[in-house]
Structure 1
Amino acid sequence: MNKLIVGNLVHRPLRSVISAFAVAIEVIMILSVVAIFYGILNGSRAQTSGIGGDMIVHPGAASALMNTSSASADVRVADVLAKLPHVQVVSPVYIKLTAGTSLETVYGIDFNSFNALRAFTFVSGGPFKGPDDLIIDDLQAAATPHLNVGDSVKVLNHNFKVCGIVEHGKGSRKFIPLQTMEALDNSPGKATMFYLRTEEQPQYQEAIRSEILHTDGLQDWSVQTMQEFLSTLTPDHLPGFNIALRVVISIATIIGFMVIFQSMYTAVMERTREIGILKSMGAGQLSIVSVVLRETMLLASAGIAIGVAATYMLRAVLHNRFPTLSFAVTTDWVFKAIGIALLGALLGAFYPALKAARKDPIDALSYE
């Protein structure tokens, strides 16, 4: 039977290759979309935690999409927060979401206070020296060929000079002076949020939260510890994340299902006499079903192997071509994609297998 299954696949090489590649495409679609979605999410978590703050304070309710909100906080609130007991550093940040050649965030920062949260590690250059200076991280520098300190870069439709290149992982990939951001966005004296570095004991953070919420004008503000904010950066807290993921996975599964169904259904119709011969030799319905399903599993396994290998190759290519793109291929999703592909293939082959098993041997032997 094993020789028969392999022989059937080798006898129709083009159909076998197309079927295997359809499963491979299914796997690549699932893993690639998940890798991009989770890569962006995990990258955001890593960059936010790398800022060095212990607490985040901003107007309005807590939200995982806080970085897309407008700058509605008065910068002078930083002076109020700095006077609270157990607060060591307060840094106002103005965050601007841009959609140029790619979607990215630009941070307007007060360098001294932002650097005090956790110091920048400069690869080259140094801090701001003027209002039109720009700090970028090393991944952003690598993504732009031949970009060095002293070069001119257009950000937010304004020309900046790169004054420093820092190691990645501290909030954003591009930083400009806070006052410059306020002027460009026509919002003088405003900020999006405040990062606080506090004394480490959790009870101090609760005391700080209570003090802030009992301060006039700040009663409706959101006050979160860094751990609380990072816990909101999950698929369940991002609108449409899980829906988009399920839609893409469903489409990929349907593609794999339909190709396997068409391939195995056609194969069963072409092998009617072969099935008749097997039945006349004593093969039962279970044996016939087994032949079709085992052939399907062999095709699916080949396709899965190709798909997983191609996804890791794609990750290497994207990492080399787009250093700033987070492409997170995780082991758990590799196994999930394998399970989804196998299940789709088995469902696609199930009806053709039953049809083959139910053929009457006399009719099958007389089939022309």
Structure 2
Amino acid sequence: MNRLVIGNLVHRPLRSLISALAVAIEVIMILSITAILLGKIDGFKARQNGIGMDMIVRPSTTNNFLGMSSAGISVKVGDILAKIPHVAIAAPVYIQLSSSLDSIYGIDYKSFNDLLPFTYLSGTSFQGPYDVIVDDFTATGKKVGDSINILDHSFRICGIVEHGKGGRKFIPLKTMGELTGTPDKASMFYLRTEEPPRNQEEIRRAILATPGMNQYQVATAEEYLSAISPARLPYMSTAIRVVVGIALVIGFLVIFQSMYTAVMERTREIGILKSLGASRLYIVSIVLRETGTLAAAGIALGVASSYLLSAVLQARIPTLDFVINLPWVWKAVAIAFVGALLGALYPAYKAASKDPIDALAYE
């Protein structure tokens, strides 16, 4: 049977190739969309962990992806937070999303650097109101002293630091307020606490019990980062389901068309097999084995191409956060394989149902 299956596929190389490519495209679609969306989440979490904060205080209306909400907290709140027992550092930060979807961080340099010091590769901290600190990815092809445009204003690169500390571009908090028309405002406060996590619940209660502070959200770093997931972000889960659904339909239709056409072309062959005593199960098995072989080849090609695409994009666009999620590799394999078998069920049933006399008389 295996020789018959391989012979049938080799006899129609173009159709077999197109079918395998369709399955490969199905796998690439699934892995690419999850690599982009989940990669963004993982990259965001990694950069937030690199800030060095233990807790976060922000307005209750702030979006989980900071930068998508306006600055709604006064920098004077920092004086209140600094007096809370066991709070070592309270760093105000204003995060603004640029037109290119970059997160621009407006920071009070001293307090933000005290959370976890920058690791400088060259240059120094802010020397003027329109200085900017950039990470090594953003600084590709640039050097200290060069100018870059941020929020429609020219800034001088004063320092280049290692990536992974929240954003990729950092400007003075006061300058951010002037450029956005919201002086003395911040998006949130990052807190560094004494002996975390022992005192975090006590700190939370103390903050919320302070007059005027019950309007803010107080969360630990773990609570905040756990809220950033596809399950907590409905639009992301919907996007993944839509792409997976489209990919499944593509694989199903191409396999269905390929197997159905193959069955119609091999009517006499099926008649001969049945006249020689082949059972319905034998005929169904042939069609499904052909489908399984095509699906396996397409899946292998799709997974390999996805990892190759990831390597190329990471090399050319390191800020993209295009990271293939291993659990989704297995999901993509299962979805593509099951979709292919479903697409072959009716052609297999059609082949098994042929009357051997009619099939032998078919021209």
Task: Answer whether TM exceeds 0.5 for this pair.
Answer: yes
* Residue identity matched to 1:17: L
* Residue identity matched to 1:361: P
Q: Hey, what's the Cα distance between the residues in 1 that align with 2:166 and 2:106? A: 11
Q: Give the match for residue 84 of structure 2.
A: 84
The question of whether the paired residues in 1 share the 8 Å contact of 2:126 and 2:158 is answered with yes
Q: Give the match for residue 104 of structure 1.
A: 102
Matches within 5 A, 1:120-139: 120-139=118-137
Superposition misfits of 4+ residues, deviation over 6 angstroms: none
Q: Give the match for residue 11 of structure 2.
A: 11
SS of the residue corresponding to residue 88 of structure 2 reads: strand
Task: Say whether residues 1:303 and 2:289 are aligned partners.
Answer: no
* Residue identity matched to 1:117: L
* Residue identity matched to 1:181: M
SS of the residue corresponding to residue 233 of structure 1 reads: coil
Q: For structure 1, which runs of at least 5 residues remain unmatched after alignment? A: none
Q: Hey, what's the Cα distance between the residues in 1 that align with 2:181 and 2:344? A: 62
Deviations 1:267-317 (A, max 9, x none): 000000000000011100000000000000000111011100100110011
The question of whether the paired residues in 2 share the 8 Å contact of 1:293 and 1:350 is answered with yes
* Residue identity matched to 1:99: S
Tell me: CA distance 1:175–1:201, structure 2 relative to 1, closer, same or farther (3 Å): closer
Range that drifts further, 120-129 or 293-302: 120-129
Q: Give the match for residue 270 of structure 2.
A: 275
Task: Say whether residues 1:290 and 2:264 are aligned partners.
Answer: no
How many residues align structurally? 363
Q: Give the match for residue 22 of structure 1.
A: 22
Q: Give the match for residue 188 of structure 1.
A: 183
Give the drift of 1:65.
Answer: 3.2
Deviations 1:99-154 (A, max 9, x none): 23xx1210000111100000111111121111111111112223xxx211111100
Q: Hey, what's the Cα distance between the residues in 2 that align with 1:304 and 1:92? A: 49
Q: Hey, what's the Cα distance between the residues in 2 that align with 1:65 and 1:331? A: 24
Q: Hey, what's the Cα distance between the residues in 2 that align with 1:88 and 1:64? A: 24
SS of the residue corresponding to residue 68 of structure 1 reads: coil
Q: Hey, what's the Cα distance between the residues in 2 that align with 1:64 and 1:113? A: 22
Give the drift of 1:201.
Answer: 3.9
Q: Hey, what's the Cα distance between the residues in 2 that align with 1:47 and 1:328? A: 15
Give the drift of 1:351.
Answer: 0.2
Deviations 1:321-345 (A, max 9, x none): 1110101112211111000000000
The question of whether the paired residues in 2 share the 8 Å contact of 1:257 and 1:348 is answered with yes
* Residue identity matched to 1:219: N
Q: Give the match for residue 141 of structure 1.
A: 139
Task: Say whether residues 1:117 and 2:115 are aligned partners.
Answer: yes
User: Pick from 221, 232, 236: which aligns with 1:241?
Assistant: 236
Give the drift of 1:192.
Answer: 0.7
Q: Hey, what's the Cα distance between the residues in 2 that align with 1:97 and 1:66? A: 8
Q: Give the match for residue 53 of structure 2.
A: 53
Task: Say whether residues 1:205 and 2:203 are aligned partners.
Answer: no
Give the drift of 1:63.
Answer: 4.5
Tell me: CA distance 1:201–1:136, structure 2 relative to 1, closer, same or farther (3 Å): closer
User: Pick from 324, 328, 331: which aligns with 1:336?
Assistant: 331
* Residue identity matched to 2:79: D
Deviations 1:75-114 (A, max 9, x none): 01111111111111110000101123xx121000011110
Matches within 5 A, 1:166-185: 166-185=161-180
After superposition, the CA RMSD in angstroms is 1.0
User: % of aligned pairs identical?
Assistant: 60
Q: Hey, what's the Cα distance between the residues in 1 that align with 2:106 and 2:61? A: 22
Q: Give the match for residue 252 of structure 1.
A: 247
Q: Hey, what's the Cα distance between the residues in 2 that align with 1:85 and 1:274? A: 84
* Residue identity matched to 2:358: D
SS of the residue corresponding to residue 237 of structure 1 reads: coil
* Residue identity matched to 2:82: A
Give the drift of 1:45.
Answer: 0.7
The question of whether the paired residues in 2 share the 8 Å contact of 1:138 and 1:166 is answered with yes
Q: Hey, what's the Cα distance between the residues in 2 that align with 1:182 and 1:99? A: 17
Q: Hey, what's the Cα distance between the residues in 2 that align with 1:224 and 1:326? A: 26
User: Pick from 346, 356, 363: which aligns with 1:361?
Assistant: 356
Q: Hey, what's the Cα distance between the residues in 2 that align with 1:28 and 1:21? A: 10
The question of whether the paired residues in 2 share the 8 Å contact of 1:22 and 1:255 is answered with yes
The question of whether the paired residues in 1 share the 8 Å contact of 2:105 and 2:167 is answered with yes
Q: For structure 2, which runs of at least 5 residues remain unmatched after alignment? A: none
Q: Give the match for residue 72 of structure 2.
A: 72
* Residue identity matched to 2:34: V
- Compute the TM-score of the two structures, normalised by the length of structure 1: 0.97
Q: Hey, what's the Cα distance between the residues in 2 that align with 1:340 and 1:116? A: 48
* Residue identity matched to 2:130: D
Q: Give the match for residue 216 of structure 1.
A: 211
